[in-house]
Chains A and B, each alone.
Chain A
């Protein structure tokens, strides 16, 4: 039952990825503006242009180009970036950890903020505290990450300049790392001086990404908790003398968490999508920032590679969430 579900999901995932590949391939090839002409210095001859077009395979038909590219992708070869003249996969893997770190830190913050306010709101239901939480989460939800980023830049970059508003790490620092997961590796190596510097750069973009998601988690979890808190077994726990906080944490939370968990999965992909502009805003050297440069430079192979990696990330997250839901939901587990 679970295996069957998994295989069906895997198949639809592959169809989705193929669809993404087709769409992005077609879209960027109808683009006006010749990437080859942009590479060459002014005064290049038509022969030069033709030679370079052939080198990047741009002289073939779209269908031919697509299958050449696809067979390359199947072998792990995403082609060569036109503007940076390096292997696309290498470039993407070099930047992906920065984006993943940012997204994971933002997710942890969103769960922490959203979970705490939900539990607080459920405990203080019907009071001014709950009303305050409702207003705050309403505002946090309506204002998108791009605007939160700008607000944070003004507040903590200019008004009270305690955080850095651009880059990933101070350029003068020497990073003795083997992976590109600087933040996580600095934690593992106990180099907290570097952790602090990385965090000072990462905190504001992460908060900007986290706030809308925190608001959604807070609203849904609070709603689920309030529903569960009226059920018999919770009332029984209360009669047994547990405090309201204990009742929520020990009895209500595990039964109320499932809908929120599913939601976090979908919303996490939105959060990752948000890194594109938030990274740009904070000049954070991640995948999204590189993607915008790739579009501006009309770097077709690089755009294709980045979009496909984002799509792969999205469908994988959805797959994991779907499987987790199937494992955790007793009705599906025994069905």
Chain B
């Protein structure tokens, strides 16, 4: 394992880059009102479709240019990061809690609990996830909490499937048998012995899920089914950019770069965390 070799020597450059980008984007989002050069909602038709700073016709203060309503692109990206990170953290943690608990129960207890939970997972896997997300937000009504809830409702199965398999493997290990002989209760063993051993997988999945949540939010706001207000979102900016692609390419390029960097960083982070936490690989 290359990752393991690298993590033994300390953090890899790739991990530094990933962590650095996420930290930068997160801090910018938190301190958006202080960092953003312009009001992200301010429209000015005199300033429409200004190009980014290195091109002719750029205006100082509008570093990445403006969209077709004259709104500053950089400020919109910074404020859009707020929605993206809130959704990433909240949806991933919610999906993780539900999926891990059900996965632990199914994998460790087996029997009827496993059969019922596995059947529900099968049903969930037979839905096209993007369509399911769009449907749920349409049903729940647009808004930040709907988006978070929809992602959690769909993606808990990612955690459940992996944790179920791991818990099943762990519960056959000798140490679990020993704990049982020592007189520990089943729930006690599950929480004290099995759970700590599946934590590396949970943490790695959590990081990957944050990247997925960012994408799903972008897709939802791309089809105009995300938050109900005018607040900028990365997917919403992309939708505008897709429409004005022949007049103002930068409105599509910059949010796209932002999304790609964020998703790549979350997945790099997940991989690295997994190898760092895993006692066998370490």
A280, B238: Cα distance in complex, Å? 13
Give chain A residues whose Cβ lies under 8 Å from the Cβ of B130: 273-274, 276-277, 288
Task: Give Cα A295 to B132, complex, Å.
Answer: 10
A50 CB-CB contact with B under 8 Å: no
- Docked pose: A20 CA to B119 CA in angstroms: 11
Q: What distance in Å separates the Cβ of B213 from its nearest Cβ neighbour in chain A?
A: 12
**Cα separation A306 to B134 with both chains bound (whole Å):** 13
Q: Is A163 an interface residue (CB 8 A)?
A: no
- The residue that A154 contacts in the complex, of B119, B211, B253, with Cβ under 8 A, is B253
Beta-carbon contact of A158 and B126 below 8 Å: no
Beta-carbon contact of A151 and B256 below 8 Å? yes
**A335, B264: Cα distance in complex, Å:** 44
The answer to whether residues A314 and B126 also contact, given A150-B242, A150-B256, A277-B219 and a CB cut-off of 8 A, is: yes
B245 contacts A292, CB within 8 Å?
Answer: no
**A146 in contact with B128 given A28-B139, A139-B264, A303-B135 (CB within 8 Å):** no
Please tell me if the beta carbons of A142 and B267 are within 8 angstroms of each other in the complex: yes
Known A-B contacts A144-B215, A295-B135, A295-B138; A272 and B128 likewise in contact (beta carbons under 8 Å): yes
What's the nearest-Cβ distance from chain A to residue B156, in Å?
14
B141 at interface by CB-CB < 8 Å: yes
State whether A276 touches B125 (Cβ < 8 A): no
B16 contacts A by Cβ under 8 Å: no
- The answer to whether B69 has its CB under 8 Å from any CB of chain A is no
On whether the beta carbons of A146 and B127 are closer than 8 Å, the reply is: no
Known: A143-B260, A147-B263, A158-B245. A310 touches B127 (CB 8 A): yes
Known: A30-B139, A158-B245, A280-B223. A23 touches B123 (CB 8 A): yes
Chain A residues with Cβ below 8 Å from B122 are 12, 16, 19
> B129 an interface residue at 8 Å Cβ cutoff?
yes
Chain A residue contacts of B212, Cβ below 8 A: 144
Asked if A292 and B223 make an inter-chain contact with CB atoms under 8 angstroms apart, the answer reads yes
* Cβ-defined contact, A143 with B127, below 8 A: no
Q: Is B32 an interface residue (CB 8 A)?
A: no
In Å, the complex CA distance between A146 and B131 comes to 13
Q: Which residues of B contact A265 (CB under 8 A)?
A: none
Asked if residues B128 and A276 are in contact (CB atoms below 8 Å), the reply is yes
B218 proximal to A (CB < 8 A): yes
Identify which of B139, B225, B256 contacts A147 (C-beta below 8 A): B256
Name B119's contact: one of A19, A147, A277 (CB within 8 Å): A19
A158 near B127: Cβ-Cβ < 8 Å: no
Decide: B126 and A17 in contact? CB cutoff 8 A. Answer: yes
Is A147 touching B138 in the complex (CB atoms < 8 A)?
no
The A267-296 residues at the B interface (CB cut-off 8 A) are: 269, 272-274, 276-277, 280-281, 288, 291-292, 295-296
Binary contact readout A148-179 vs B (1 if CB under 8 angstroms, 0 otherwise) = 00110110011000000000000000000000
**Does B64 sit at the interface, judged by CB under 8 A?**
no
| Inter-subunit contact A153/B126 (CB<8 Å) | no
Q: How far is the CA of A231 from the CA of B223 in the complex (A)?
A: 52
A73 at the interface (CB under 8 A from B): no
**Most B Cβ at <10 Å: residue of A31, A151, A295:** A295
- Asked if B259 CB lies within 8 Å of chain A CBs, one says yes
A292-B128 in contact (CB<8A): no
A146-B215, A276-B131, A307-B131 given; A315·B136 CB < 8 A? no
Interface members, chain A 215-270 (any B CB < 8 Å): 269
List 19 A–B pairs whose Cβ atoms lie within 8 Å, in order of A's numbering.
Answer: A16-B122, A19-B120, A143-B263, A147-B256, A150-B252, A154-B252, A273-B128, A273-B131, A274-B130, A276-B128, A276-B134, A281-B222, A291-B131, A295-B131, A296-B225, A307-B131, A310-B126, A310-B131, A314-B126
